[in-house]
């Protein structure tokens, strides 16, 4: 059993939880993720470790309400327990002093980007971060990102905060202005696809962190497989980070929808079950 120690909402449907998991807090590195299962009937879902506190023995995860499990998780409170948490999984981000690193995050993808921004900065890089969201209320981790970035650019679709436009617009401005040695892009698959196309134009080595469907997270099932440079890779053991210019994002987008019908009907049934029964 893993206890929830802190909880806050970063935006209406995005919660940050700190969970007691001392071993994972100690051994996790930037880029690692966990798999959790809320209760006996729950599914196993992967979540990136956004941060950790080794003294308190806690890890932080950021979760967006999108389906049954994430909804349940967002509704849990301090003191509640999660039945299973396992990790840290995946291969850690390769952190080195390369010069200038452009970190771009979209939506809730800003959460897994944060530990990388932090590690890149601590490794001595000049870090320029671009975070994007549909609107002002959905921008998360602004202060945290600012603390570890030499420059923070915020992009919103409606211009309600920062500049108006997509993440790629902000990225391109930086690339045209100065030499970027490496880029890291994390967010919805469609955003990573276009962010990767942007950096490819300028031949900037780019890493993307993939959030595919997983069951065990240890290489056992292959649900997370993606094509990278024409070769099938398992995101859970060889990833989650890959050369963004080699990832087949169209295939990944399609595979993310593998259970869409079942998941959305399951979610609507769950939401119905939450409504008070009249009479």
Provide the binding-site residues for another protein, judged by CB under 8 A.
23-24, 27, 37, 41-44, 68-69, 83-89, 215-216, 218-223, 225-227, 232, 234, 237, 251, 254-255, 257-259, 262-263, 266
Burial letters 235-260, b for 16+ CB under 10 A, else e: bbebbbbbebbbbbbeebeebbeeee
Give the count of beta carbons closer than 10 Å to the beta carbon of residue 265.
Answer: 10
Q: Which of 170, 249, 150 is nearest to 209 (CA)?
A: 249
* Nearest Cα to Cα of residue 28 among 5, 6, 48, 44: 48
Helix (H) or strand (E) holding 260: helix 260-274
* Of 11 and 227, CB closest to another protein: 227
Tokens of 13: 């449907």
Q: How would you write 183-229 as a 3-class SS string?
A: EEEECCHHHHHHHHHHHHHCCCCEEEECCCCCCCCCCCCCCCEEEEC
Residue placing its CB nearer to another protein in the complex, 88 or 106? 88
68 or 95: whose CB is closer to another protein? 68
Least distance to another protein from the beta carbon of 223, Å? 5
Cβ(32)–Cβ(13) under 8 Å?
no
Q: Report, in Å, the least distance between residue 265 CB and another protein.
A: 10
Question: Shortest gap between Cβ of 93 and another protein (angstroms)?
Answer: 15
The DSSP code for 129 is: E
Query: With respect to another protein, which residue has the nearer C-beta, 34 or 103?
Result: 34
Minimal distance, residue 117 CB to another protein, in Å = 23
Per DSSP bridges, beta strands 225-228 and 206-209 are unpaired
DSSP string, 264-276: HHHHHHHHHHHSP
Min CB(152)–another protein separation in Å: 32
- Residue 16 or 28: the one with the smaller Cβ distance to another protein is 28
Question: C-beta of 124: minimal distance to another protein in Å?
Answer: 27
Nearer Cβ to another protein (9/23): 23
| Smallest separation (angstroms) from another protein to the CB of 246 | 15
| Residue 25 three-state SS | helix
Cβ proximity to another protein: between 159 and 219 the closer is: 219
């Amino acid at each position: 059993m893993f206890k929830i120690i802190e909880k806050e909402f970063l935006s209406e449907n995005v919660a940050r939880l700190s969970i007691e998991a001392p071993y994972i807090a100690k051994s996790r590195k930037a880029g690692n993720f966990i798999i959790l299962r809320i209760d006996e009937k729950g599914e196993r879902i992967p979540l990136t470790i956004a941060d950790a506190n080794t003294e308190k023995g806690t890890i932080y995860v950021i979760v967006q309400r999108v389906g049954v499990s994430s909804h349940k998780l967002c509704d849990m409170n301090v003191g509640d327990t999660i039945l299973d948490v396992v990790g840290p999984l995946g291969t850690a981000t390769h952190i080195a002093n390369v010069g200038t690193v452009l970190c771009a995050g979209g939506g809730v993808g800003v959460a897994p980007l944060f530990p990388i921004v932090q590690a890149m900065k601590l490794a001595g890089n000049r870090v320029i971060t671009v975070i994007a969201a549909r609107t002002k209320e959905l921008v998360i981790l602004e202060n945290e990102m600012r603390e570890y970035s030499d420059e923070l650019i915020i992009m919103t679709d409606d211009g309600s905060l920062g500049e108006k436009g997509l993440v790629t617009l902000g990225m391109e401005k930086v690339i045209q202005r100065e030499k970027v040695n490496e880029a890291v892009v994390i967010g919805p698959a469609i955003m990573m696809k276009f962010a990767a196309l942007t950096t490819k134009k300028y031949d900037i080595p780019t890493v993307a962190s993939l959030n595919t469907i997983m069951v065990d997270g240890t290489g056992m099932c292959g649900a997370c497989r993606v094509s990278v440079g024409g070769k099938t890779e398992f995101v859970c053991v060889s990833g989650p980070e890959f050369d963004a210019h080699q990832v087949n994002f169209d295939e990944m987008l399609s595979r993310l929808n593998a259970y869409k019908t079942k998941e959305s009907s399951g979610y609507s049934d769950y939401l119905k079950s939450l409504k008070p029964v009249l009479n």
